[in-house]
Chains A and B, each alone.
Chain A
């Protein structure tokens, strides 16, 4: 993967998000304290916010180029996003949530198409299909949200503190699923977290963000 985030400028409430970095590792953690701008950065990459200035390029595809007035709409970016609150659609069943963005006729950049059966099998959620999302446990919700993002066959997966709301025991049960996703789908991921144990377990590279600036990178 090659994700170029160049001359990113986005004014936030207390500071300006200023990022200039090229990410090449497959799974990269973005760490930092609360309010450091991590979610805003993911929103920018997903196309949910418009920066004051930015050049965002994923592999050979320009997603945002303010200098050229280019901004690919979120729905055309092929970027899977699992937000911190998961944003499962409460009026739809698990099956309907999963099918919402399921691509059956499109190919990802590496020619891989994630099938419904494969994704639900890897995440062990086949038996949940007819349940309402409000009747799922915390860990089941996490896996459904992850599966829903994967079923769009994205070129990049953004995970915003996916384990933040889970207790220690549940975290330990979910991490193997994330590892399986990493191994099975070979999908580039940006993984926002506070927890260095998660970073060690899942990521190859970590960036430390503080008050909108990347202050260090760790392998």
Chain B
């Protein structure tokens, strides 16, 4: 593989991993609130979080572009006050991947939290633990498998993201080009050999991610 292709593979992998790490605390917080609390408007928040799953990714990308562009509400503020651009940079890729994979992380994590017997958390409170300690020592370890599964799903979704990324970050070689974007461009240009090489790398990465998580979960369960 050429140096540019290695750069694309490296960039896609680390930005996908970083987006998963960045959304993790928000995902855990949202999932916990949805699993354990009742409040007015909960179903609206729930629907809003799930929207990127069902909306066309380019539509989500367009919304992000309008918000994060220099003339957008958030992008304009960041540019004017901090001289900080998001659109058409790696940060745009990061945000697009994070937004698109967020619902998968929340769904998987929420189910994992719901599967933890609330009685264990209640009894932990009678033993003197506050909410944060209960979360760290009871809820989190008992839902770890579901959380890891959610992270793998989010990472895999980020690896393959296309529509929102191309809207927010474009396909700038060496700067914002990801595996999906590069495969698409290679096919468009009739460079099928390049496309298939990158396709092979995509399959290998996805396989490694899922296989790695499976090994991790089996080890946690004490299986060989």
B-contacting residues of A (Cβ < 8 Å)? 43, 46-48, 73-77, 79-81, 83, 85, 87, 89-91, 100-101, 103, 148-149, 152
Complex CA–CA separation, A87 to B174 (angstroms): 54
24 contacts between A and B (CB under 8 A): A43-B122, A46-B126, A47-B125, A48-B125, A48-B126, A75-B128, A75-B129, A75-B130, A83-B123, A85-B119, A87-B122, A87-B123, A89-B138, A90-B142, A91-B141, A100-B124, A100-B127, A100-B129, A101-B129, A103-B128, A149-B127, A152-B126, A152-B127, A152-B128
Chain B residues with Cβ below 8 Å from A46 are 126
Q: Give A76 Cβ to nearest chain B Cβ, in Å.
A: 8
B117 sits at the interface (CB 8 A): yes
- Contact of B123 with A81 in the complex, beta carbons under 8 Å: yes
Known pairs A48-B125, A48-B126, A74-B126; A83 contacts B119 (CB<8 A): yes
Chain A residues with Cβ below 8 Å from B172 are none
Chain B residues with Cβ below 8 Å from A101 are 124, 126-129
Q: Give B147 Cβ to nearest chain A Cβ, in Å.
A: 14
B215 sits at the interface (CB 8 A): no
Known pairs A85-B119, A89-B120; A148 contacts B142 (CB<8 A): no
Q: Give B16 Cβ to nearest chain A Cβ, in Å.
A: 30
CB closest chain-A residue, reference B117: A87
Q: Give B39 Cβ to nearest chain A Cβ, in Å.
A: 16
* Max chain B C-beta neighbours (<10 A), residue from A83, A87, A148, A149: A87
A-contacting residues of B (Cβ < 8 Å)? 117, 119-120, 122-130, 137-138, 141-142
Chain A residues with Cβ below 8 Å from B127 are 75, 100-101, 148-149, 152
- Contact of B119 with A87 in the complex, beta carbons under 8 Å: yes
Complex CA–CA separation, A86 to B123 (angstroms): 9
How many A-B contacts at CB < 8 Å in the complex? 53
Complex CA–CA separation, A149 to B125 (angstroms): 11
CB closest chain-A residue, reference B122: A48
Q: Give B36 Cβ to nearest chain A Cβ, in Å.
A: 14
* Max chain B C-beta neighbours (<10 A), residue from A73, A83, A85, A89: A89
Q: Give A44 Cβ to nearest chain B Cβ, in Å.
A: 12
* Max chain A C-beta neighbours (<10 A), residue from B124, B126, B137, B138: B126
Q: Give B73 Cβ to nearest chain A Cβ, in Å.
A: 41
Chain B residues with Cβ below 8 Å from A90 are 142
- Contact of B126 with A81 in the complex, beta carbons under 8 Å: yes
Chain A residues with Cβ below 8 Å from B124 are 89, 100-101
Chain B residues with Cβ below 8 Å from A81 are 123, 126
Q: Give B116 Cβ to nearest chain A Cβ, in Å.
A: 10
Complex CA–CA separation, A90 to B125 (angstroms): 16
A-B interface, 3 closest residue pairs, ranked by CB to CB distance from nearest: A101-B127, A87-B123, A74-B125
Chain B residues with Cβ below 8 Å from A48 are 122, 125-126
Q: A89-B120, A149-B126 are in contact. List 12 more A-B contacts (CB 8 A).
A: A73-B125, A75-B125, A79-B126, A80-B126, A81-B126, A83-B123, A87-B123, A90-B142, A101-B127, A101-B128, A101-B129, A152-B128
Chain B residues with Cβ below 8 Å from A91 are 141-142
- Contact of A87 with B129 in the complex, beta carbons under 8 Å: no
Complex CA–CA separation, A90 to B117 (angstroms): 11
Complex CA–CA separation, A161 to B127 (angstroms): 19
Complex CA–CA separation, A81 to B122 (angstroms): 10
Chain B residues with Cβ below 8 Å from A85 are 119
Complex CA–CA separation, A103 to B128 (angstroms): 9
